[in-house]
Chain A
Amino acid sequence: MIPRPLTDRGERVISIRDIKFTYENGPEALRGVNLDIRSGEYVALVGGNGSGKTTLAKHMNGLLRPSSGSVEVMGKPALDRTVAELSRIVGYAFQNPDHQLFCSTVDDELAFGPRNLKCPPEEVTRRVEFALDIMNLRDVRGEPPLSLSLGERRKVSLGSVIAMDPKVLILDEPTMGLDAVQSRELMATIRKLNDDGHTIILITHEMKLVAEHADRVIMMASGRTMLDADAKGAFTDLAILERCKLVPPPVSKLAHRLVERGVSKDILSPEELVFELMRLRGGP
């Protein structure tokens, strides 16, 4: 597939240049990563456990600082700014919602971020209402977040980041532990946020979600990016997938099996596959 020309995409929001990072008493977690995230993109960041996905993402809002190389957020070096300053632009919802929730009501939890950003009270209210609506949390707004179900806790934790109105949203495995219905609902919300102009960076192990939602896929293995491509072409090279400890989504696997019959490798959805098969049989 031909990648979209750069001019079609939005402005650069995050630029990462040759960053390396080593944890204290640990192995080198990032070994020279280069990438640009552009406004409005829906990027999936995938790879096996320990491949460096989360480490890379934590560089985007300053939680980690590179040992060498540079990170720019909105064209300015991230190094000069605190995590709190960067959190206005880059929101980060952690994997475990219980690591974020501590307030006595959902309302307070959602207001925590905007208050930290010193938003005036009416702006805090406006943002809390917005987050309540988009995450569909209106019914539980007075409840203590920690007493909610995992699905709801995850929605609160995501909502608490959305209430900060960041341009970029990093979501670390947002569907982990959710059932199919909750997962679909959450992904629809994320899609809506992306349609509204938020840049999404989705860290996940579920390739089905990647195939369904992402425009662009970044695959990582042992601290390096192995592939950075449009989603359309991301699952065509099985050797790269294997090196990144990934398995293509089921429909793409099926397409690979049917290559000899003339089916294209870059199929990402059942609908596409049906069209492709009909095309091969000579029209509907």
Chain B
Amino acid sequence: MAGFIDLYTEGNSFLHRMDPRVKIASVLLLSVLGFLLTRLYSLLLLLGLIFLLLFLARAGLGKTTLALKALLRVMILIVALWPIFDPSGTPVLASLGPVKITEPALWRGVTSAVRVGCLATVWYILMLTTSQRDMVRALVKLGLRFDFGLALSISLRFLPTFGLTIESIKDAQRARGLELDRGGVMRRARNYVAVLVPTIVSALRTAETLSLALQSRAYGARADRTYLHDLSMRRSDAVAIAAVVMILVVPAVMKYLLGYEL
């Protein structure tokens, strides 16, 4: 379970070393590009580029295979469902009662599926190569209040611990004869109260202890706090962001100023 909460995988690729702010900006820009492109071949080109990045990130095979399999399922679902809700265009390939499947709609389905593939994969690369700590650091550097950043990273840090607590609570209640998966929806919902209440209580107790622990280590003693790890842009980061901006600007200019269909 913990593996799904944190996709980050240790590594030393150039994407791992890149300033997280640059990575977040690049991912946003590439996402914009994903929406800007409408032709299938240009989206396939983008997907190729993104997969090249994934390859360069030296993604751990296990996690990535699992993620890509899930993504592929979503993409197939989009291709399968699109023509059913979009019956416009000719020629009609097949029809069953009011449902028509047309060739252009099928292609539109494929295009959308590839677009979703691009977006999902590019965000996956960000998650894969950026530790939660770096992500929060970047957000704080970009203007998020430090308190919120800290709260965010503490929440992320405690998610796996919390998962274990919930498992233990479930076991404790099952040992008292509770059958969580039996009965109708209402009955099951009622059963889960026995898990939910101890979970919330335990979360509140943890939060209280944690806040005392933070205070006893002088959290918030100075308003102008200093940082042990500071982010700094290097030349490679500047080059990377410039490259990504170009990758976005060139097609944008071609599309909106020169009128090319991309």
| B177 and A164 within 8 A (CB) | yes
Of the 9-residue stretches B114-122, B194-202, B218-226, which lies at the interface with chain A?
Answer: B194-202
In the complex, what residues of A have CB within 8 A of residue B178's CB? 84, 112, 116
Q: Which of A90-104 contact B (CB under 8 A)?
A: 91-92, 94, 96, 98-102
Expressed in whole angstroms, the minimum distance between the Cβ of A96 and any Cβ of chain B is: 7
Say yes or no: B172 contacts A112, CB within 8 Å.
no
Given A112-B194, A146-B201, verify A94-B171 contact (CB < 8 Å). yes
Bound complex: CA of A102 vs CA of B193, how far in Å? 8
Residues of chain B within 8 A of A92, CB atoms compared: 172, 175
Q: Residue B174 at the A interface, CB < 8 A?
A: yes
Cβ of A199 within 8 Å of any chain B Cβ, yes or no, is no
Total contacting residues, chain B, CB less than 8 A? 20
Q: How far is the CA of A190 from the CA of B169 in the complex (A)?
A: 24
Q: How many A-B residue pairs have CB under 8 A?
A: 67
Is B198 within 8 A of A83, CB to CB?
Answer: no
Number of interface residues of A (CB under 8 A): 25
- Chain A residues with CB under 8 Å of B193's CB are 102
Given A58-B171, A63-B171, A112-B194 in contact, is the A98-B176 Cβ separation under 8 Å?
Answer: no
Partner of B198, one of A84, A87, A101: A101
Contact residues in A for B172 (Cβ distance below 8 Å): 92, 94, 96, 99-100
> A39 contacts which chain B residues (CB < 8 A)?
none
Contact of B64 with A by CB under 8 A: no
Do B175 and A98 have beta carbons less than 8 Å apart?
no
How far apart sit A102 and B200, CA to CA, in the bound complex (Å)? Answer: 10
A101 to B197, CA, bound (A): 8
Q: Cβ of A49 < 8 Å from any Cβ of B?
A: no
Which of B168, B171, B201, B202 is packed against the most chain A CB atoms within 10 Å?
B171
Interface string of B150-194 (1 = CB under 8 A from A): 000000000000000100110111111111000000000000011
Contact indicator B176/A112 (Cβ below 8 Å): yes
A100 touches B177 (CB 8 A): no
Q: Which residues of chain B have a CB within 8 Å of any CB of chain A?
A: 165, 168-169, 171-179, 193-194, 196-198, 201-202, 205
